[in-house]
Every structure is written in structure tokens, then in C-alpha cells.
Amino acid sequence: MRNRLHGYYDEVGLGPVPQPCEPFPSFDEERLDIVLELRPKVVSFHFGLPDTKIVQQLKEAGCVLLCSATTVSEARQIEAAGVNAIIAQGYEAGGHRGTFTGDPAIDTVGTMALVPQIVDAVRVPVIAAGGIFDGRGIAASFALGASGVQIGTAFLACPEANVQPVYRAGLRAASDESTSVARCFTGRPARVVRNRFVLEMAGEEDAALEFPLQASLALPLSMAVDESRRADFLPIWAGQGVAKLREMTATALVEKLVAEAGP
């Protein structure tokens, strides 16, 4: 992978490709201590189940625990671990896949199929996520048995979202066919708006380093170029319904979603 990225590094003036490293810290004891001190009402895990000891400590601190599942098998493991609710993440969802068992390339169940299967397999509340952009998606999720919904991409067009101008422009230009799941940015499968880097690396997904080592090599590219070229290398995380984005304040969007979903 380092050899493959040499050309990009030369192009943007970064010099030699460095040795891969962990670019950001994982959830460790130090961060657990901070969470236990702050005692947030909700703690959500997306990259798999935490250790049983961590689950117990957080629950004793009064935190409600959520964890993402992309299959029924994962949902059952989450319930058995004592987590309070399960986020059923369909393949349509933007950003990183929450898969933690099996093969992410095979575990590609969509939200409409995943939610009712998880609802029938567990007894804890299920939160639908992936491809939900308006009240129709919310109503459909409730009809499938979900107790709630988790919406991400729809809020990226809100002025409160802290996204770069080039990121916002990429969202505006996206169509219903603009996203795909790629590993080239971080090493973990994630749904993004396709850009030059995604397209040129598409045939070399198997060469991507494990998460988060790939990120230490790929993410510096977007930070090394000026605004006019950043779109070539910036990961624009977005779900399949990105073309349905509506630009309004977060408050207005929430009110509209509630009204659209109906009673």
C-alpha cells in the first residue's frame, strides 16, 4: 500500500510515504475513566462490543448503552452482553460499517430487511439506521418494529453541522448513485461519496491496511492540498439517500421529520 500511495504523496508535496501507525487513540482505560467521571446519559459503541467489564462499569454509572449490529448474529451477541438497545445498521448507512463479526463484504443486509429480523430475534429495543432521510423512512421503521431511528447524513446539510465547504459541496452534488462502500480511507468498510481517490483505488481494496493503519497513510492527503483539490482526496461520508438532503436548521429538520412521520 505504501508503494501504491507514493504517486499521490509526490503529487501533493508530502514527500516519502511514512510507516503506518495508529493515527488516533482507541477506547482505553484512560478514556473509560473520563466517561465514568462525566457519566453521560447514553454511551454508544459502533465498532463492536466492548469488554464485559466495561459494559458493567458503564451500567453501574447509570449510562444507557447502545451498540451497532449489521446482522442478527451480532444483535444476539449485543443483547447477551447486557447492552440496553441495539442499533440495526443497514447497508445504506453512511460512514463506517459497524460490522464486528463475519465478512463485511458479505454482511450487506439493507435496513428494510435487517430491522424486522433483529426485532424478532431480540427482546431489547431496536433502533433503525441507514437510508432514513424523511418522515416516510421513520414511519416505515416503526412499522417494521423499531423503537426509534438514528439519522446521520440528513443533518449534514444543516448549518450547525461542522463540515468543510468542500464536504458540503460534495453532498450537494451527489445523486442517488454517488455513494459506495470503500476501505481506501481507513481500512474499514465505509460508505462515501465517490471521488477521484475512491475510483482510482477501487481495484486495490484488498491491499488496504487494517483499520486504523490505512488512515495514517490516506487521510493526510486531503489535509496537504488546497481547497480547490481537496475534493479529490477528502472522505465524504454519506448514506445512499444523500440526494434527499434538505438545507435547514437542525431544529427545523427535526420538526419536519416529526410532522412527516405522523402520529
CATH number of the domain encompassing residue 125: 3.20.20.70
Assign 3-state DSSP to the chain and report helix, strand, coil percentages, each to 5.
45, 15, 45
Q: With respect to residue 143, please indicate whether it lies within any of the assigned structural domains.
A: yes
Supply the pLDDT for residue 206: 85
- On the question of pLDDT at 226 being above 90, the answer is no
Q: Edge-to-edge strands of the sheet including 95-96?
A: 95-96, 190-193, 179-182
| HSE-up (13 A, CA, CB side) for residue 230 | 18
What does the alpha-carbon distance between residue 169 and residue 219 come to, in Å, rounded to a whole number?
A: 19
Q: With respect to residue 102, please indicate whether it lies within any of the assigned structural domains.
A: yes
Range of the domain at 142: 39-152+250-263
Supply the pLDDT for residue 87: 99
pTM: 0.94
Mapped onto helix, strand or coil, the DSSP state of residue 64 is strand
Q: With respect to residue 82, please indicate whether it lies within any of the assigned structural domains.
A: yes
User: What is the total count of domains within the chain?
Assistant: 1
Q: With respect to residue 238, please indicate whether it lies within any of the assigned structural domains.
A: no
Supply the pLDDT for residue 78: 97
Q: With respect to residue 148, please indicate whether it lies within any of the assigned structural domains.
A: yes
Please state, in angstroms and as integers, the Cα–Cα distance from residue 57 to each residue in 23, 37, 65, 72, 214, following that order: 27, 11, 11, 26, 32
Q: With respect to residue 213, please indicate whether it lies within any of the assigned structural domains.
A: no
Task: Write down the mean pLDDT value for the chain.
Answer: 94
How does pLDDT run across 185-216, given as a tens digit for each residue? 999 999 999 999 999 999 888 899 999 999 99
Supply the pLDDT for residue 28: 85
Q: Which of 101-105, 115-119, 237-241 has the lowest mean pLDDT?
A: 101-105
Q: With respect to residue 121, please indicate whether it lies within any of the assigned structural domains.
A: yes
